Structure 1
């Protein structure tokens, strides 16, 4: 057989093999089309039975086509972002058109909304009530802080309404309220005990320092307005030279009275410390220890008072500069301070 005849035979065999492969691919395609449900079920079952192979195939495919996957991800994210921008732009355009239509004819818009709600309520009363309930809840959740602030302001302006309502509710549901309080206490017992410990420590420190009990109270809107107007009048009005002279002539606390007050306060603190002493073996040592603790607490309080006084002086100076009608005097033109008598020293001890 010549070389040409052998080449023609090889081409015919090769074409026959390609035709067979094409015929097999066509047959498999027709099978998948006619048995789509069976193929999907078989593939799903095989994937469920061989998860490790699926993971291996995916990892190998990702390793071989990482650049292609990243490119497709970037394109998909760009398309998603562009779609979101188009949707936001269209929504804003619709809102602008809706506001313009409402501004052009608000009464017609309200009539349309009433008719629409009436039709929805007639078609599905239960669904309408549920949808309205959800809308109101969403609005309350998104405006919770604003509504709570309004309620607090309303209660401050007229607290009697809420107080009377609370008294009526407690008179009718006293047992339920007490049960809720007991349940809350036992559910948060450690938190409640910690609050009680903090309160007792604060009260004990207050008594040791000789401070009065805290008496905070709320004021109504009219009282707040009156206090604000009085403060504005005090800081804004300018005093005449006659008024300044009268203020300087007012009686002031003498050094003797101030020293007497210091002695009486120290005696009262010592008497309270002796009365509360429970150490029967070493009462003097315990008393000295408590006295040192009180002195340290008093020193800390004096430092805090000095810092607060400096802060208030700075605030008053700033307000004075803002409300001043005349320029502030220079330091060289200030009057010389009036020397006052120095109170007697109490470092030598006290006589009880």
Structure 2
């Protein structure tokens, strides 16, 4: 079983994304309610100017235009005036008329704004989109079925930033994914606007994990058109069709015989990994990786990697020199390239400890 890792840095990123999402969500709400706010401002400022003009006309002047605006504003919210109640009927009418203006123009808008601002669960879709809009160099997962959920878990374990699009609102996995802090957008990923809501322009990879080959291909093509540089990993049940997609479009197309979730996760993370082969019921893949400075096995040996990760290192490349089947005592340095053969779980753990 792979070891579990905590990601305090990922937790901090998650909290910061929620702060950013709150700011963005509030700004969107302010834009939606800009008309009531604009008309209210016009009514208060215009009313203040008219009050100032009338007060001078009837010989009950106030000290300044600012005070006139303040008087109108306090009257709107039924606050007592900070000076003697005016004697002239024209000025008195302001204290009775402005509360009506406030109720008509602003009260309903403020009530709706407050309800939507503090009850984001009622606007779940908009909130998830706001969170997704803060992501950068993330992975988009389309489909949260059995395979999709396992892929999401693997990517989460690898510390990857993830956004999910799922059409079926009754999927039990949606709440479980959200509990991990992953934004889940309930919508149709075949619509370009939905992909844009998941911030596809700044995503580095997208995985299509639904059971519909035609829909997976449709989404893959739209994703590539919206972001030509995005890495596309698509689930295709037909082996020949999968290989044809790889050759024609450069997609990483994994067929029904290659449905291991860690393979999908590794492919989306940008790792050079082959399609798995089954040997006596065990899936094995060959992966190539460059040892990073942060790797847990940097400055260790081949034997350390093989003993602790339960896989085989079949090639070591150092300083432009390749060594096939290196010995257990061969050192591993940052910048070296190794090719390893192992099961999906073992490869996923090795890649995680390499910072991928």
Q: Please report the TM-score for the alignment, with normalisation by the length of structure 1.
A: 0.20
Q: Which has the higher contact order (CA 8 A, sep 6+)?
A: 1
User: Which of the pair is proportionally richer in helix?
Assistant: 1
User: Which of the pair is proportionally richer in strand?
Assistant: 2
Q: Please report the TM-score for the alignment, with normalisation by the length of structure 2.
A: 0.20
